[in-house]
Structure 1
Amino acid sequence: MGKLDGKIALITGGSDGIGLATAIQFVIEGAYVFITGRRQEALDAAVEKIGSKNVTAIQADSSKLDQIDNVINIIEKQKGKLDIVFANAGGGTASPLDAITEEHYNLIFDLNVKGVLFTVQKALRILSNGGSIIINGSGHSIKGFPAFSVYAASKAAVRSFARCWSVDLKDRKIRVNVLSPGVTETPLAKKVAGDSEEAWQATVKMFTDIIPMGRIAQPDEIAKPAVFLASDDSSYITGIELFVDGGVTQI
């Protein structure tokens, strides 16, 4: 028996990186998983990689409320409920304070904050009592890095969501936690680094020099803690921020 047998899960941003790795682990543990993403070709490739009948891919932009509604309606029609929501979709680019634009701010907050808020809100009507909500956070929520103030603020916002929602949903025994990865080898991380192998290797070196464990993470090293937060193994845990970052924010 898997840790998530019979559970129905939604993973936003599930077409690659941490979201895809988590979808794979959820399916291994017995869950039926719905994944979303903006690019249909990436979703098709993800379904093929997962290689299971226990996954459905839905093209959706998590910053668009009508598209979130469509996702929840599809899940309700096909399965009737949700047990796990992993609000994973997010991202951000660097911009020093004197170069921040309204477009930069809106892009990051629409996806990282607005998208998380309304994904969770709209999922509530089909989310089972005793369910688990996981929000993808970041060590930027507690540690300052140059040129990432808007991104950091967005991740601090969702950390506050988890605290408040843990109280809002306690009568339904729904747990809300934040999973905050460190630098992880994903397509998005490589794109943010500069979309070239040289830029990526420079980023890897910069972070491995300061990460106590001396390396960056692989996606499945984030996915397995997500299984923990989704399962009954964490039944007495709510409102926390679990840092999975090789110790960089803690030591």
Structure 2
Amino acid sequence: MRFKDKVVLVLGGNSGMGLASAQAFAAEGARVHLTGRNQQTIDAAVAAIPGSTGYAADIADPAATERVVQQVEQTDGRIDVLYINAGVGGFAPLEAITEQDWDFVHAINLRGCVFALQKAVRIMGEGGAVVVTGSIGAHGPLEGNGTYAAAKAGLAMAMKVFAKELLPRKIRLNMVSPGPIDTPLLHRNPGMGPEDVEKLKEMMIQNIPMHRMGTSDEVAKAVLFLASDDASFITGADLLVDGGLIELG
């Protein structure tokens, strides 16, 4: 029970890796708060996690995140663990990128995450831990991935800076960068239909040294490790959970 009596906030905890992590935190004794944009999936997540609380909030709106932080503060007084997982995909080659798509992806994957961290650390104390979902997209070029990769690469460097800034407060900040994980996000890429998604999955599997896609539960295990005292001497790290794709591919 590594998180007994810990207050955990999972931003983007209503599906995929966020939901798997929220469930795992709760199973290890945490008091879980989670957010999402879809009330139906939020309600389902809360129903599946005893004692949890859900909030409808778009991470692209810093004011919405601030309201969630205020509600957590009123309920539990603090945040011990923050997992910033909210994100969206966006595949398009250079010629097809629109300003609207670029701004949409960056508002969530970069800008929203940065301001979510700013809002939440206000009620975090010494010994607090932050985990942020990055991506192997920040580590290697993939055709059509420019918009998403730019946002995640910017996020990776920003979080390294913030990890250093948080050292005097004894708050650790690490990233987990998943590779090809079969989550609902994969099926919500703007401009991609079901056939496009299947072709993308096949292409990724062919390039993964382990010859399979990862699962949300496998990412959750990495998230909980980085958030726990097992990783007490780790900060500023970016843990690749990618079946060896970046290092061995």
Bin of the TM-score, shorter chain as denominator length: over 0.9
Shift of 1:195: 4.5
Question: In structure 1, what is the equivalent of residue 85 of structure 2?
Answer: 88
Q: Is 1:214 matched up with 2:211?
A: yes
Q: Could you tell me how far apart the structure 2 residues matched to 1:92 and 1:107 are?
A: 10
Question: In structure 2, what is the equivalent of residue 37 of structure 1?
Answer: 36
Contact 2:89 2:188 in 1 (8 A): no
Question: In structure 1, what is the equivalent of residue 138 of structure 2?
Answer: 141
Contact 1:22 1:220 in 2 (8 A): yes
The structure 2 residue matched to 1:127, chosen from 95, 111, 124, is: 124
| Residue pairs, 1:81-230, within 5 angstroms | 81-192=78-189, 194-196=192-194, 198-230=195-227
Provide the secondary structure at the position in 2 that maps to 1:153: helix
Q: Which runs of 5+ in 1 are unaligned?
A: none
Q: Which runs of 5+ in 2 are unaligned?
A: none
Q: Could you tell me how far apart the structure 1 residues matched to 2:141 and 2:26 are?
A: 36
Change (3 A) 1:89 1:162: same
Q: Could you tell me how far apart the structure 2 residues matched to 1:185 and 1:46 are?
A: 18
1:150-204 Cα shifts (integer Å, max 9, x gaps): 11011111111221111101011111111001111111112329352x4443222
Q: Could you tell me how far apart the structure 2 residues matched to 1:88 and 1:125 are?
A: 19
Contact 1:135 1:158 in 2 (8 A): no
Q: Could you tell me how far apart the structure 2 residues matched to 1:192 and 1:86 are?
A: 22
Question: In structure 2, what is the equivalent of residue 3 of structure 1?
Answer: 2
Change (3 A) 1:95 1:214: same
Q: Could you tell me how far apart the structure 2 residues matched to 1:151 and 1:83 are?
A: 29
Shift of 1:237: 0.3
Shift of 1:135: 0.9
Q: Could you tell me how far apart the structure 1 residues matched to 2:62 and 2:188 are?
A: 26
Question: In structure 2, what is the equivalent of residue 250 of structure 1?
Answer: 247
Question: In structure 2, what is the equivalent of residue 23 of structure 1?
Answer: 22
Amino acid at match of 2:178: P
Q: Could you tell me how far apart the structure 2 residues matched to 1:108 and 1:11 are?
A: 19
Shift of 1:69: 1.1
Amino acid at match of 1:27: A
Shift of 1:232: 0.1
**What TM-score results when the alignment is normalised by the length of structure 2?**
0.96
Q: Could you tell me how far apart the structure 2 residues matched to 1:155 and 1:5 are?
A: 32
Q: Is 1:59 matched up with 2:90?
A: no
Amino acid at match of 1:45: A
